[in-house]
Amino acid sequence: MNKFFKIHTCGNDFLVIFYKKSFIILNKYINRKFGISCDQLLIINKINLKNKIIKIQIYNNNLSIAKNCGNGIRCLSWFFLIKTKKNNFISFDLNKNYIHSWKRKKIFTLYKFPHFIKKLLIRINNIFLNSCFVNLINLHIVFFVNNIRTKKLKFVSKTIKYFFNDAYNIEFIQILKNNKIYIRIFEKAIGETYSCGSGIISSICYIYKYIFKKKNFFVNSIGGYCQIIVSNSNIIIYGNVNFCYFGFI
């Protein structure tokens, strides 16, 4: 039997295990109808607390590989920095892409401002949408909309997923007032989710580069809110993390 724990932030939930079992067994446990269920599966491959580096793998709910997960890394940061009380700083190794977190009164997670951000105009039927491609280790398409609650967003997301073969996470953002943002997120292989850390960061990169430059942003998603700080070439995300339970597989 192997120990696992479940954790979430803003309703974006994760199953964390310390040993990679077979996909057949994993699929049984992350199935939303018959198992524990989660948006993503986080596998801890190696822990090096001396050098403060943790090597991880990330899988979507259908066990496809995810190259990045901002909220998942925030949750792991909380676990290793707050729950275990081992260090004040930790780094996560995602195939030699390093993401850093540190502890003060809150847990802060830092990303480098992505090198590839490409603005474009997409037409779907008679709908024209300002959008932006962002490469944040994983791939995102961010759309700026005037009404985040419209039912058309599900149709647009399905069309984009079909056209790009479900290769991108899709974010729709509406600027409510100054630096307050509302976001809806449609993750690849999952559908609409309560939150997505890398999607939120990608959306802020789009706003910061092409719409207006602010240092602080408050981002509301279906599952709750988090805060973003833009500092030089870095993006810092922080917010509440909620531990659910330990268990054994």
Whether residues 162 and 183 share a domain: the answer is yes
- Dihedral sign for Cα 187, 190, 193, 197, please: negative
Number of structural domains found in the chain: 2
Whether residues 233 and 125 share a domain: the answer is yes
- Residue 42 domain boundaries: 3-94+240-248
pTM of the model: 0.92
Quick one: average pLDDT of 77-104? 88
Does residue 97 sit in helix, strand or coil?
strand
Whether residues 40 and 123 share a domain: the answer is no
Give tens-digit pLDDT for 122-159: 988 888 889 999 999 899 999 999 999 988 899 999 99
Give tens-digit pLDDT for 17-71: 887 666 667 777 777 777 788 899 999 988 887 889 999 999 888 888 889 999 9
Give tens-digit pLDDT for 156-178: 999 999 988 888 999 999 998 87
Cα separation of 201 and 230, whole Å?
A: 10
Of the given ranges (67-71, 130-134, 187-191, 218-222), which has the lowest mean pLDDT? 187-191
Report the CATH number at residue 51: 3.10.310.10
Backbone angles phi, psi at 4, to 5 degrees: -140, 165
Backbone conformation region of residue 67, classed left if phi is above 0, alpha if psi is from -120 to 50, else beta: alpha
